[in-house]
Amino acid sequence: MPSAMVGIIYKRHHKPARLEAEKLSAWFEKRNIRVFSEEMMAAETVQGCEDGASIIPTNVNWVVVLGGDGTLLAAARRVGRFGAPILGVNLGGLGFLTGIPLGRLYPVIEMMIDDRLVTECHGMLETQVIRNAETMCRFPVLNDVVINKGTLARIIDLNVTINDEFLTTFRADGLIIATPTGSTAYNLSAGGPVLYPTMEATILTPICPFTLANRPIIIPDSHRIQLAMGKESEEAVLLTFDGQVGFNLDYGDRVHIHKSKEKIRLLRPPDHNYFRVLRDKLLWGGGPRNS
């Protein structure tokens, strides 16, 4: 009988990822490890708040993701939030979350089986949309929750309340509410700060604010956030989860965001260094210059 179980999630419609998943499945099976393999699309933007169920059991020992950060985000929400540690292998683009290059896959997999990898716990946010006193939507995210407008060039007013205390009205193209893990995603593009991914904080970053005084703010992740449109919009306003699942907001909706009880466990080699990753991915240079 197999002594352990592993889930392999690979990027959809990506032949190299599928071929690597097949190769890795055979490698695990030779070692008497039961394999559950699934093709997963990184971006599945739909109206509603259902992410779809995974065929991978929630009690697998490990999950190996072959793809980019988008594939890992989907895997984290569907499987990882139930406790299975995730190893992200980069077959995509920038790859902050999928930090293992394909060339190191098998040595790192050996370390995973031998329990020689480091586990990082990353916090998640949970979002609820309340409409006429009814919960219309409940959704967990690892990276961010984003409210933005449609295609017309009009700003939206967003009233922000923290722990039942009114903070301000952001007049902007939208607002990003990001975890430290998501600080290097849309938040970074919008001028928000980079946070160490295991910090316990939440970032609010306005998108192209109308007023220069509207700046990003960092709050403890224990604080509860409530958002509402300050006035009715003539165009669609969309709530997006991890850039992958969308929900259309109506005027009068209340968006409640708070720290999730669930965490994502990401596996890293002992030699993994986040600051080296930042230097490499953001092209910060190789080191100090001698005067």
| For the chain, domain boundaries | 4-117+269-282, 124-261
Residue 163: which of 224, 252, 74 has the closest Cα? Answer: 224
Q: Write down the pLDDT at residue 46.
A: 47
Mean pLDDT by 10 residues, the chain (291 residues): 86 91 97 94 56 85 95 92 94 83 95 97 97 93 92 82 97 96 96 96 96 93 96 84 92 96 96 91 74 52
pLDDT score, position 288: 67
Question: Would you say the pTM of this structure is higher than 0.85?
Answer: yes
Output the pLDDT for position 45: 46
Cα 58 to the center of its chain, rounded Å: 19
Q: What was the pLDDT predicted at 1?
A: 47
**CATH architecture entry for 4-117+269-282:** 3-Layer(aba) Sandwich (3.40)
Going from the C-alpha of 240 to that of each of 2, 156, 186, 278, the distances in angstroms are 40, 16, 12, 26
Predicted pLDDT at 149:
84
pLDDT of residue 39: 92
Tokens 């929630």 sit at which residue?
58
Cα separation, 188 vs 31, whole angstroms: 42
Q: What is the pLDDT of residue 99?
A: 86
Q: What is the pLDDT of residue 106?
A: 97
Residues marked active site are found at 69
Structure-block tokens of residue 148: 């933005």
Express each pLDDT in 160-189 by its tens digit.
999 999 999 999 999 999 999 999 999 999
Please identify which residue in the block is written with the tokens 């790192």.
108
Q: Which CATH architecture has domain 124-261?
A: Sandwich (2.60)
* Token pair recorded at residue 113: 């089986």
